[in-house]
Structure 1
Amino acid sequence: MLQYFIIYKPFQVLSQFSPEGDKRTLKDCFAVPADVYPVGRLDYDSEGLLILTNDKTLNHRLLDPRFSHEREYWVQVEGAISDQALHALSTGVDITVDGKVHRTKPCKASAFQEPPVVPERTPPIRYRKSVPDSWMSLTLTEGKNRQVRKMTAQVGFPTLRLIRYRIERLTIDGLQPGEMRNLDRSGIYSSLFS
């Protein structure tokens, strides 16, 4: 039977069920059948939306670079993000991927006027009164390793916190870190592909 879950992956949890050293994994946070696995990944130090399924067709469609789909990230950065940096991010910047220079595809980049309402992070971001921070939304259609962090660093605003908020029309609305929602096939396919 095909099963579909969306989860809010907590900070400092590996996007896998198999153990690796003393790091927490999805197995420590979510009880799902043994044949269910994550589609794609989020870095250990990133958090937010991850899809778990045993549907190999869905996995193929989401990970095949020929099929582009939007992924929206909410990013807390060090410093007050500038319009110039947002323009550079939206038109594409050069980052290093596997030792080679990669020009990122155009994306949507905008600053939040007020910080978004997000769960507290454990442990929290280190607060420094002398260094401002700001939040932005980045919507990408590609997913290179640590791409968002490399992009914000490239324009001079290091990432402090990274949350994947959305994949197409699937969001983490209503979920807290470590929570999971069960979906049916028609719900997940219509949210992702229609």
Structure 2
Amino acid sequence: MLKQFLPKRDIFFTLFQKLVEKNHLGSENLVKLLEDLKNAKHHVQQISIIEKEGDNITRHIFDELHKTFVTPFDREDIHRLATQLDDVLDQINRAARRILLYEMTDLPDEILTLGNLVIQNTQLLNKAVSALEHPSKAKMVIHLCDSVHELEEQADRIISTSMSSLFSLESDFKSFLKMKEIYEGFQTVFKSCKNAAIVVKSIMLEYV
């Protein structure tokens, strides 16, 4: 009984670290998919496996939250952070599945550019979450989170320009709708990364 009243800092930070690592692995596999569309089914299956592993980690965080009386920071913040980090991987999985569903055999270069920006974003989140337990690294964490916002803005510009070109040049309405859905899927990935960064930044600002 006494154990649940003891601080369990390490378990939460360890689980958060595992979750952001899964996010990064998911983003790397997303780019593998974009570079190898002929084996799309295999790559999407790999992303799906990673996404399920991420779900298991998230459930573990929630289980620990229910069992633990003393937490490293506010319980609601732990729940929000776990939920937002889990959503990043969920959105990566959905974006990948959309490409498989539409049986895409070729994609614009801009899509690969977006995929590589997703990798950069998950790297930033990985570093920010890793430093979250160290108040002395607050300035670095805030900078990393702000960089996630900047990458989202960069991605939005690419998507906006690409969608405008698509609207002007694509004569086949079915193809237009497919690409529109794919671009919107990537936009949601970047939004989920931004939302996770907002939570990380707010936690660091509150507890330093």
**Fold in common (TM above 0.5):** no
> Normalising by the residue count of structure 1, what TM-score does the alignment of the two structures yield?
0.23
If the length of structure 2 is used for normalisation, what is the TM-score?
Answer: 0.22
Hey, which of these two has a bigger chunk of helix by percent? 2
Q: Which has the higher strand share?
A: 1
Pick the structure with greater CA Rg.
Answer: 2
